[in-house]
Amino acid sequence: MREIGAAAAARFGYVSGSEVVTNLVNLPDGRVVRGTRLMRGNTARHAATEIASRISSRGGDISRIVTDGDLIYIASASETERREIFRAAMTLLAQGHAGTATLDFWLRAAYLLFQAPRKKRGADATIRTFLIAAGACLLEYLPRLIHDIDLLAYVQTEAQFVDELRTAQDSAGSLL
């Protein structure tokens, strides 16, 4: 978890004084849309308080929700942008690719999918399972997912995430 926290904190180092960093997502058609957002400071505390209030109003347990201290919270992109990002990921995976291009498209699709969760609960597990299945079909070997892949997709830039996931594939390669 320290690695995740350090990566998130590093992202704020590039935008001094800001309490929000937005992941910019490059779509295959050349457009750039907003993905998940990292929040800190008062913005993160406000988000934490809002989440705790919403859960509490439904009678839920808020004892594990941290609302003070040096927080970093993550917020999903808008529904419209998540739909666009999701469609782009599916398009990348559906196109016929050959050779190393197949891995390149699978890596990019992985980042896109984590930027576009379809549901609030269980999306990370669903995406991981889907990536293994799609990767096995497209790559003809079982791809290796990095530990905390979802969190890394939220806190790293697209280039950092793709590079780290590509490195993990160097040691995968077990044929089906």
Average pLDDT for 69-79: 90
Q: Give the span between the Cα atoms of 39 and 155, in whole angstroms.
A: 11
With a cut of 60, say whether residue 176 has pLDDT above it. no
What is the value of pTM for the model shown?
A: 0.89
Q: Please, what is the average pLDDT of the chain?
A: 90
The beta strands (E) that lie in 14-172 are given as 20-26, 32-40, 72-75
- Least Cα distance to 22 among 5, 49, 40 occurs for 40
pLDDT for res 172: 65
For the chain, report the end-to-end CA distance as a whole number of angstroms.
32
- Residue 161: exposed, middle, or buried by beta-carbon count in 10 A (0-12, 13-18, 19+)? buried
pLDDT at 162: 96
Q: Which of 72-76, 92-96, 100-104, 158-162 has the highest mean pLDDT?
A: 158-162
pLDDT, position 5:
84
Confidence grade of residue 66 (pLDDT, cut at 50, 70, 90) = confident
In the chain, what percentage of residues exceed pLDDT 90? Answer: 68
Strand segments, DSSP code E, in the chain are 20-26, 32-40, 72-75
pLDDT mean over 8-19: 83
pLDDT band at 102 (very low <50, low <70, confident <90, very high): very high
Task: With beta carbons less than 8 A apart as the criterion, state whether 73 and 45 touch.
Answer: no
**Can you give the pLDDT at residue 13?**
81
For residue 86, give the amino acid letter. F
Please tell me the distance from the alpha carbon of residue 52 to that of residue 99, in angstroms, as a whole number.
48
User: pLDDT tens across 109-142, in order?
Assistant: 999 999 998 877 778 899 999 999 999 999 989 9
